[in-house]
């Protein structure tokens, strides 16, 4: 996949953020330690279009991150813009529409 331009990345981030903010919580598993700390072990959501996603921790080097996984009917996999927001990506990166030269001439008449 070609790199996504920065402006389109920001727009996709806003779309994904909106999907997550409007999500319905399907399941959550929490653990309370004897010292009183609370840990979320699992958080599954239903986002726009009925897609089931989970927020899962992963390590990237020495930094912990939260990633999105989607259940595609066969099992869980990492979400990606290319697979899960393909229509939005195509719309954002499409070449601008330009009329055909003969259409421009007809419009002038």
**69-93 residue pLDDT tens:** 999 999 999 999 999 999 999 998 8
User: What does the radius of gyration of the chain's CA atoms come to, in whole angstroms?
Assistant: 21
Are 77 and 69 in contact by the 8 Å Cβ rule? The answer is: yes
pTM beyond 0.85: no
Rounded Cα gap, residues 73 and 41, in angstroms = 22
pLDDT tens across 2-58, in order?
899 999 999 999 999 999 999 999 999 999 999 999 999 889 999 988 999 999 888
**Residue range of the domain that includes 104:** 6-108
φ, ψ of residue 37 in degrees (nearest 5): -70, 150
Q: Please indicate, yes or no, if residue 1 is contained in any of the structural domains.
A: no
Number of domains the chain is built from: 1
Q: Please indicate, yes or no, if residue 51 is contained in any of the structural domains.
A: yes
């Amino acid at each position: 996949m070609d790199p996504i331009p920065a402006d389109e990345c920001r727009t996709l981030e806003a779309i994904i953020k909106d999907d997550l903010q409007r999500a319905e919580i399907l399941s959550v598993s929490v653990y309370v330690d004897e010292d009183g700390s609370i840990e979320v072990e699992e958080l599954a959501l239903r986002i726009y279009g009925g897609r089931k996603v989970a927020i899962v921790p992963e390590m990237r080097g020495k930094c912990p991150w939260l990633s999105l996984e989607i259940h595609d009917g066969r099992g869980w996999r990492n979400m990606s813009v290319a697979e899960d927001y393909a229509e939005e990506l195509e719309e954002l990166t499409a070449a601008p529409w330009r009329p055909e030269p003969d259409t421009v001439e007809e419009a002038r008449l």
